[in-house]
Homo-oligomer: A and B are copies of this chain.
Amino acid sequence: MLLYKGARTVSPPSLTRCPLASSQWEQDLLLAAAYVSDAQYNRNVPFETSPRAIRLYYFYNHWTLRVATYVFICVDLSLALFEEPALFPLPFLATSIVEVLCLTAFFGRLVHFAKVTPQMVFWKDTKNICILVTIALTLLDLIIYGSLEAVQIHGIRWSRAFRPVFLINFPESRQIRRALRSLRNTLPDILYVFLLFMFSVLIFSLMALKLFGDRGLKTAEGSPYLTNILEIAFELYVLVTTANSPDVMMPAYDFNRWYSLYFIAYIIINTYIFMSVFLAVVYNNYRKHLKNEIRKLVYLKRHKMMEAFKILKVKVGTEFVVREAEWKRLARMVVPDISSSHLELLWRISDEGQKGHVDRMNFLRLADLLNIQVVTVNIRKHPLEAWAPRVYQSSASLFVQRMVRHRAFVWVYDVIILVNAIFIALDERSLFISRAEWFFLCLYVAEILLKLYTYEPRAYLGRKQFWNWFDILIIIAALVATVANATIQSARRYNSQQVLDIVLILRILRLLRVIVSIQRWSTTPSPSSGWKCSRAKCGSFDPNFTSPDALVCGNPALRGSAFARARYCKNNFNDLASAFLLLTELTVVNQWHVIAGGFALATHQAAKLYFIFFHVVVVILIVNIFIAFILEAFFVAYSLEKSELETVIEKKIQELGVGIQEEEEQDKKPTDNVGSKDGGSSGGDGDHGGAAAKGLYCRIASNKYRTVDALLQRMFESEIAPDEEGPSLDEILSFSPSDMYVKNPNFENSA
């Protein structure tokens, strides 16, 4: 998108940046530098700017045009809602006119882009070709479909499948393209793991077929259980997603409890380990490719900033620099509404030595500096104070202001919101409660008015005061909706369902304000509680479901419950093995609500609390820690193929001339004629002849570590400086994570 050649004198471009645009200042800075250089030095800079081209470029990047492009893309995509099979059917003529409109807009945007881009660059970019071809194909399809419709033949609008092309290929959709690229790049890496995973599922399917296929077992629905290899593979795949968790196991478990070992092994290997490895592979690849993309962006930015520097540089003493005047002019041109104090601040940061010019390194930082938002805070007088200072400063008024500013004011309103939440939870058809709603509405309005009275209104409604705006909009909307509802009700004695729904949602959204208060809380450790759930407390079921009591599991309270219908009678705490299996099922998560419901029926509703507690501790905490360990171990094994020390050893091995050549090793199978010995003495047995003239070779054993400790040390040792001796023993023992990055300066080197 660089602009080549043109006349010298241009009017200073005014840059109105779009809030949607990504924060990349470097292109603007480069253009502005070219302009400044032109005006100042009349220099023959490498990139020159014609006034028409530069105006076209700024117009292309104007936020209105960007927003318009997004709107047209949205309209084009949402056409699917109105075409057959439609949610809201519209005639073909209407949708086709809208579509032609969108296509025209896309074409215009592309032509505009071609004007501000060198021809070579434009035609080399496949994205542009894609858009052009899609536009042409869509028009062709519209014409064919329209003419067929005219003679009453119903065709297929095949070009509708191409619509996402516009979303992906316009230059504005960089994020989407990046996500798609990272998806495509991840595929080959995950394929190998996926093959291993599918192989594991197939092995388990074969085992299941042999173990359960001939038993003549029936599922809860009465159909044959695991008799067909494809069906088994499908069921086991579903088990990986946890969706059919206990159901698929129950017939085998009922037949013989030892068969549950098979399912536990399957769940550990496939549901937990393989799924975590998938996450780790995906995460790792995503990170790797994303890093690469970002690196590109950063280097591109530096490149452009270097170009800008080259255009503006002047020689002062021995080094090339940019002078203060040009630097400030550049910044002002790119950010026309920058405040003088902000600009001065940036200048002081760039020009550390106060020399009146910046060197190359400091100039390169300009784009980053502009990215950091600096708020200039401005203390203003309340308008009421200016209008009626005596009244506003009176003791009553000051008391009100002090009251509103007091933190108890916030607490009082937090309490009000909570009371309101309880009222909402209660039945509202009672007259008292529906009147209370008006009362709460008044309280909220009073709060806003009081705050507007106390705080300066422009400050209260500043651009960044999200929660203030949220308050006001919610309350106004609730007022309007409640009044409208009351009017309709009194006029026609009828509740408008839509208005009522809106009122209810607004009323609850108001409660969100407590989030601000929660952020103020300090957290305290949660109480621990008993774990074991004895047989007496959790209800006892008769697992013998072939008895006439099958549907009540030996407990009349369970008659007709989902627990009994799903034949979950064997899921109980009656002995250790049953309890263990039940807890395993709960860890897999699925159907745990049915299990919890069964126990709640058999004992007390509070039994559900035990199951929720178990889910939090085991699934949320422990399973995630397990996943985290796999993640971490995987990343370390990936990034540190060989440790520094191992490389040194390998180099030394090669130097000493006792290394096995790579080619030799690849040619040989691992079961070759080489006996491995781990550090065993080999001095005595050098009595071999033949091809093994030397008799002794060395190689690094493997990249694997025998102990968890060694792996963990390797994980983090690279992050500790090798020449750092570390703190004293006492300090080591009292380490906490918070001082991790502080180096200990007091260590006495006593060696």
Contacts and interface: CB of A to CB of B under 8 A. Distances in A.
Contact of A518 (B24, B196, B678, B716): B196
A301 to B, nearest CB: 8
Contact of A296 (B80, B310, B733): B733
B424 A206 contact: yes
Given A282-B624, A631-B283, A716-B295, A685 B378 contact: yes
A202 B238 CA distance: 31
Contacts of A238: 592-593
Contact of A710 (B371, B379, B624): B371
A86 to B, nearest CB: 7
Given A459-B674, A649-B372, A241 B345 contact: no
Contact of A671 (B179, B365, B455, B631): B455
A727 interface: yes
Contacts of A302: 725-726
Given A195-B521, A242-B589, A737-B292, A183 B80 contact: no
Number of copies of this chain in the oligomer? 2
Interface string A359-374: 0110001001101111
Given A291-B716, A673-B456, A688 B380 contact: yes
A682 B376 contact: yes
A729 interface: yes
Interface string A333-357: 0010111111001001100000000
Contacts of A689: 381
A303 B685 CA distance: 39
B455 A672 contact: yes
Contacts of A696: 341, 376-378
B379 A673 contact: yes
A298 interface: yes
A663 interface: no
A206 B463 contact: no
Interface stretch (A8-16, A128-136, A549-557, A615-623): A615-623
A566 to B, nearest CB: 12
A670 interface: yes
A349 B653 CA distance: 10
Interface residues of A, number: 219
Q: Quick one: which of A291, A376, A720 has the most chain B CB within 10 A?
A: A376
Interface in A51-70: none
B627 A279 contact: yes
Given A345-B652, A514-B199, A465 B685 contact: no
A621 B373 contact: no
Given A421-B206, A525-B187, A381 B690 contact: yes
Nearest to A504: B210
B710 A678 contact: no
A481 interface: no
Contacts of A186: 621, 625
A505 interface: yes
Interface in A437-468: 451, 455-456, 458-460, 462-465, 467-468
A388 interface: no
Contacts of A674: 377-379, 459
A589 B81 CA distance: 26
A682 B87 CA distance: 52
B377 A87 contact: no
A118 to B, nearest CB: 14
Contacts of A625: 179, 182-183, 186, 282, 286
Interface stretch (A35-43, A97-105, A142-150, A570-578): A570-578
Contacts of A192: 518, 521, 523
A288 B737 contact: yes
A161 interface: yes
Contacts of A19: 706
A387 interface: no
A691 to B, nearest CB: 8
Interface in A276-297: 278-279, 282-283, 286-292, 294-297
B726 A298 contact: yes
B345 A656 contact: yes
B209 A425 contact: yes
A214 B713 CA distance: 60
Contact of A306 (B360, B671, B725): B725
Contact of A628 (B282, B690, B713): B282
B241 A681 contact: no
Interface in A591-627: 591-593, 608, 612, 615-616, 619-622, 624-625, 627
A524 interface: yes
Interface in A736-751: 736-737, 740, 750-751
- Listed from nearest, the 9 A-B pairs whose CB atoms lie closest are A379-B692, A299-B726, A373-B701, A283-B628, A210-B504, A282-B624, A459-B675, A22-B709, A85-B575
16 contacts: A23-B710, A190-B621, A192-B523, A210-B507, A238-B592, A242-B242, A242-B590, A282-B620, A283-B628, A341-B696, A368-B645, A376-B679, A376-B680, A378-B682, A378-B695, A458-B675
Given A291-B740, A348-B656, A373-B700, 9 more contacts: A189-B523, A192-B518, A241-B592, A241-B619, A243-B589, A288-B740, A292-B735, A298-B726, A348-B652
